[in-house]
Amino acid sequence: MALLNFKRREEVEATPVNPQVEAFLQNYSIEVMPRTAEKVEDFRAILPEGTRVYIAHIEGTPIEDMVATAARLAKDGYSVMPHFPARIIKDEATLGDWIARYQGEAGVEQALLLAGGVAEPHGDFHSSMQLMETGLFDKAGFKRLHVGGHPEGNRDIDPDGSMKNVDEALQWKQKFSERTDAQMAIATQFAFEAKPVIAWANAIKTAGIDLPVHIGVAGPAKLQTLIKFAIACGVGPSLKVLQRRAMDVTKLLLPYEPTDFVTELAAHKAANPDFNIEQVHFFPLGGIKTNATWAQNNGGASGVPAAQQG
């Protein structure tokens, strides 16, 4: 049994947990893909019960695999949030079919709506706003809809390097949140430098965006792996944090951990309780178990995954 293979964090980890980080990591979420989820024998041994688990839908992944992963996670007691990438959804009929499958086979009631990282749309949709305009999620009674956020901008959306289009899209989504019954939040791309993230979060709040922010955090991984993903995902100026680390031979071979980034955000949140970053969303680029262990050792869900509770 998984229960026998793990000990409580306090029994194996002597380093005291930072209480600000512990508070900041409560209700964290994490992202998986069907192919990475297959490698996890028992999610209950590494993730707290009720954790929100996003399922990333990468171009070419059959909807059957997505739904099967959602059903498995839901059966294990997790709050499942699949991606709906607009540019790989052919038409409204396909969108309706996906929604029906997720609800019928996995009881899904929440979704992350994205444009998707595909250059050419496969059909009628090219933005998450078009998905929302269909009204299908409201009609299906989805209780929660998350949308993407880009603290450092997005060159696919704003090729000139500005924030014009991403800011206008957030304003549209803010207005949509006021006419839907679903709860909404912004789930962001990951970054590596806290100060620009804090400035961005404050700026959108000043601009009238009151949607809560779930900040993207890259989980522990080899430095080379992180740099590869950061470039592929269009991470902006904070990439220099990794580049500086790569130039330091004493750190080059050591795995990156998000400790400094999370600690700085947690301290800001503790000093500013109304700060609009409410939760952490992990991208487990170095592996799901590795990320879950880091979260546990830093107080996520008080350091106790579901299989250890009782």
Residue 79: CA atoms inside 13 Å, Cβ hemisphere, count? 16
DSSP run (H or E) holding 111: strand 110-114
Q: Tell me: the pLDDT tens digits for 189-245?
A: 988 899 999 999 999 999 999 999 999 999 998 877 777 766 666 666 656 666 666
Give this prediction's pTM. 0.88
The answer to whether 209 and 174 have CB atoms below 8 angstroms apart is yes
* Reported confidence tier of residue 8, pLDDT bands at 50, 70, 90: very low
Residue type, 41: E
First-last CA distance in the chain: 14
CA atoms of 174 and 166, how far apart (whole Å): 12
Burial 69-88 (b: 16+ CB within 10 A, else e): bbbbbbebebbbbbbbbbbb
**Over residues 160-168, mean pLDDT:** 80
Mean pLDDT of the chain: 87
**Looking at the predicted structure, is the pLDDT value of residue 90 above 50?**
yes
- Domain edges within the chain: 16-219+257-297
Give the pLDDT mean for 115-141: 93
8 Å CB contact between 32 and 284: yes
Least confident range of 165-169, 217-221, 264-268: 165-169
Mean pLDDT of 257-276: 97
Q: In CATH, which of 3.90.226.30, 3.20.20.220, 3.40.30.10, 3.40.1390.30 is domain 16-219+257-297? A: 3.20.20.220
Q: How many residues belong to the chain?
A: 310
